[in-house]
Amino acid sequence: MDFETLLQNQYGDKEASALLSALEEERTHSLVLNDKKIKDQDFEATYPNVRKHPFVPHAYYYDPKEYDFGKSFLYDVGAFSIQDASAMMVPYLLDPQKEDVILDFCAAPGGKSVLLSLLKDDQGLIVSNDLSYPRAKILSAAIERMGRGNVLACANDFSLIYKNYRETFDKILLDAPCSGTAMFRKNEQAKKEWSIAKSLKFSLFQKELLDEAAYMLKPGGVIAYSTCSFMKEENEDVVLSFLEKHPDFHVLEASIDDPSFYHSPVLKEGIHFLPNRFEGEGQYICLLKKDGSIERSTSPSFRVEKKYLPFLKEYGLENRETLLLHDSLYSATLPFPVSKLNVLRYGVKAIDDLKLMIPDHALARYLDPSYSLSLNEKETRAYVRGETFQIDAEDGFHVVSHQGLTLGWIKAVKGIAKNHYPKGLRHDYLVLNSSL
């Protein structure tokens, strides 16, 4: 059976026709601000033609022909994250609370983990995982760029280790691997490679992931099951199969409803964000609540050798959880058992070289600009190009910033700023958005 016929069978002729027409239109573009680095009023004043997202705070639509945000200085310094507007609805509807410990099960490339962190105001803890190590490196880089301090990034096959985490997480975001029919406007190859057999194959894997998530969720916790597929075989059919197998779960209605949301009569609590109704590329979400009441975890703090305390206190990290890992010092919001995990990042990498006490770039991106030396535009341009320049500062390491945006580290030596900006990030920008 072809794609069009399947859509007609699932949505009816009128809805399917509107959806197919929408899939022939231009894709949408959107982003969410890191509001600790840039305020809405400043962003709107500088880019007056952006439009607010209807639900997600600090999120906007934009036209890439007018604003090439993906190649901008503001993007590189973590002022915003470029994400699909419909995909943003998944973390938003999961409604993360500041004290939650959340597993983002299949997290790469990291947009949903970043948004969870933003919605949680950098509190609680997000365990951001991907099965693929290369993809996990991408999500870890996104977390670092955005300066987030409450995300543990890891690369694990949880089918091998999930039994070590029985009833561990308050919430789980399972954005399951899928056939990607909602990616057709972004990826022509996905459209060419799609088949119903592919959807059915993914549905088997999705059911396995949901079973594992159920095991790791605390009583009273919530799973946000989502896909970027329009197919009921990967959405309603998977959820209904799960509910039949897990009588201790029930479907939870979302906290909001809107005419732009499509509800299938088969499972009315689930939501389809169809591009003909909701301005975005497409997403499905269903919230699954486990019976019982949440009990918050109380874990002992990790111990850190006293010789690191002066450094931690200098940058306001002394009341956070710290961990020695990969010959580096990491700082996170909460402790989490990592012995069974392949960890790439435990919150913020604070010290890169423990022998020489070299601070890591990630710490500079995390810190409030009050810890920094402010650079003018000429100095900033020199810094992001990787050049040395004169500076009036005591000898030693310093965080530098430009107009409230932390950039990275320098080492001042006799009035010269030795550049510690990572080589892979160095760039000569046409515009620094200096009007912000």
Domains of the chain: 3-290 (3.40.50.150), 368-436 (2.30.130.60)
Q: Please say if 228 is a catalytic residue.
A: yes
What integer pLDDT is reported at residue 296 of this predicted model?
81
pLDDT in tens, 160-192: 999 999 999 999 999 999 999 999 998 888 888
Angle 156-32-427 from CA coordinates, rounded to 5°: 80
Average the pLDDT over 234-260 and give the result.
98
Helix/strand/coil for 43: helix
In this prediction, residues 88-112 reach a mean pLDDT of 97
Residue type, 429: Y
Beta bridge partners of 410: 398, 419
How confident is the model at residue 299, as a pLDDT?
A: 63
- What pairing do the DSSP bridges indicate for beta strands 267-273 and 283-290? antiparallel
- Work out the average pLDDT over 242-253: 98
Selected catalytic residue, list 106, 154, 178, 228: 228
Has residue 97 got a pLDDT over 70?
A: yes
Please tell me the pTM assigned to this model. 0.96
The whole-number pLDDT of residue 298 equals 64
Helix-, strand-, coil-residue percentages of the chain, each rounded to 5: 30, 25, 40
**How much is the average pLDDT of 190-216?**
94
CA 69 to chain centre: 18
What is each CA distance from 362 to 78, 208, 289, 409, 420, in whole angstroms? Answer: 11, 35, 35, 10, 12
**H-helix segments, 173-263:** 188-193, 196-216, 236-245
Residue 127, Cα to own-chain centre: how many angstroms?
A: 11
Phi, psi of 95 (to 5 degrees): 55, 65
Q: Span 84-98, mean pLDDT?
A: 97
Q: For residue 87, is pLDDT > 60?
A: yes
Q: What is the pLDDT at residue 326?
A: 84
Torsion-angle region of 386 (φ positive above 0: left; ψ -120 to 50: alpha; else: beta): left
pLDDT at residue 191, rounded to an integer: 84
Cis peptide before 109 (omega within 30 of 0): yes
DSSP symbol at 145:
H
Average pLDDT over residues 84-110: 97
Nearest CA to 331 among 319, 339, 342, 343?
319
Contact 10, 1 (CB under 8 A): no
